[in-house]
Structure 1
């Protein structure tokens, strides 16, 4: 058996990195975090392809699309509370000690207008509130991600994470000089100005969540495409 065959699939690699980050993140950061801490071959193009595949899957299989039917293969999950079995996508279900994990898709974060935030990556198992990004919340997410990466690196020191940490430190007040980058990032999270900015965004976030209640699951996960403005009359 070759080493390549023992690696997790690309989707599971993306999930590993996202669970470490714990927040929506740019695709490049997801890839860099995975490269720093895990074995695998995840890349930005592969991540983009995963999201395209998962969006097609969420929209429903189209026999005329020419896509590999394996993408839409389904397996029976354990019976639900009513005794019925629920079909879950095999490409996004996993196992842990013999227990079927909750199925998941790789999807983008959403803006308050519910359009997809291009270049961002999240897990479908996260709530819409967790996947909804606004400027101040995105800043807080970046600090949370930096703190979590620094804490993980401290528990698993290695040269592979050093360059990543140095780059992230540049985005944290006092980060380049800090003896503890995680502590500096968490201190920045307590900035009253950041808290005030996040609070000011709450009405827009609340309105977005209310609008999302009327959307189907596909649009709640992958967003509503923005309608381009037309010039002149029809």
Structure 2
């Protein structure tokens, strides 16, 4: 039994390497065939392990405890850290599904920021991190943009160029994940969608975009915008730091429309 498991493990390693090579040269047909064989080998390995006789398993390590359930906020936090920039819920959901084995749905994120704000108000800094809002030039929360509270204030601000800069930053992060990991269909599809919005990243490509090309094209455009955007964010961050209290620095200042709405419904 152990010899067959060893052979299967070596074959699984070979298949994974073969998939990487095929995707690197954009040979999608070979990659698809190898992935199917890889899944079959992994299923065979699982079946052998689960049906191994007691004698083969009596000296093995005890089974590890079942993995802890990852909460919605933890999955969102993982996605934000991977992207490294403020992001819309739909992008966070796509990243979680492609690279983190996530099971998020967009509707689960609808009230998340409000829940985080209530938690912060009831026990300020009681958690290691909070999922907070990106802030506009009015120091109010940017609609639909989430950020991590542990990021510097400037990274959580949104200037005129920030949406484009953050998109390019996220595209680079996704491309780096595709480069470093065994490419799964979800990751390749996400990278392809993002590459279509970056000049020179996927021109004329019929198959999945080359991650290196996406990174190069994104960095080239990023170099055009980043200096001005960094300056704009720094100025906004200084305003936020001097004008806002702890809660508002994370979740934004109330706008006049928000105050009026609270008065009507209060």
TM-score when normalising by structure 2: 0.63
Is the 2:244–2:253 Cα contact (8 Å) retained in structure 1? no
Give distance in 1, aligned partners of 2:216 and 2:188. Answer: 17
Structure having the larger proportion of residues in helix: 2
The alignment status of 1:225 with 2:251, answered yes or no, reads no
Is the 1:113–1:208 Cα contact (8 Å) retained in structure 2? no
| Closer, same or farther: CA 214–148 of 1 in aligned 2, 3 Å | same
| Closer, same or farther: CA 212–113 of 1 in aligned 2, 3 Å | farther
Alignment of 1:66-105 (within 5 A): 89=126, 92=127, 103-105=128-130
Q: If you compute each CA radius of gyration, which structure gives the higher value, 1 or 2?
A: 2
Give distance in 2, aligned partners of 1:144 and 1:151. Answer: 11
Query: 2:53: which partner in 1?
Result: none
Give distance in 2, aligned partners of 1:88 and 1:25. Answer: 23
Give distance in 1, aligned partners of 2:162 and 2:136. Answer: 11
Residue from 23, 26, 37 that aligns with 2:85: 23
Residue from 82, 95, 118 that aligns with 1:33: 95
- Aligned residue pairs total 188
Is the 1:114–1:212 Cα contact (8 Å) retained in structure 2? no
- DSSP-derived class of the 1:6 partner: coil
Is the 2:134–2:146 Cα contact (8 Å) retained in structure 1? yes
Task: Give how far 1:197 is off.
Answer: 4.9
Task: Give how far 1:5 is off.
Answer: 6.6
- DSSP-derived class of the 1:120 partner: strand
Is the 1:108–1:222 Cα contact (8 Å) retained in structure 2? yes
Give distance in 2, aligned partners of 1:207 and 1:147. Answer: 25
Task: Give how far 1:211 is off.
Answer: 4.4
Give distance in 1, aligned partners of 2:226 and 2:243. Answer: 30
| Closer, same or farther: CA 217–49 of 1 in aligned 2, 3 Å | same
Give distance in 2, aligned partners of 1:50 and 1:43. Answer: 12
Partner deviation per Cα, 1:64-97 (whole Å, 9 max, x = no partner): xxxxxxxxxxxxxxxxxxxxxxx863xx4xxxxx
Task: Give how far 1:43 is off.
Answer: 2.0
Alignment of 1:40-59 (within 5 A): 40-59=102-121
Is the 2:135–2:158 Cα contact (8 Å) retained in structure 1? yes
Is the 1:7–1:40 Cα contact (8 Å) retained in structure 2? no
Gaps of 5+ in 1: 62-86, 93-102
The alignment status of 1:9 with 2:71, answered yes or no, reads yes
Give distance in 2, aligned partners of 1:52 and 1:4. Answer: 31
Runs of at least 4 residues off by over 6 Å = none
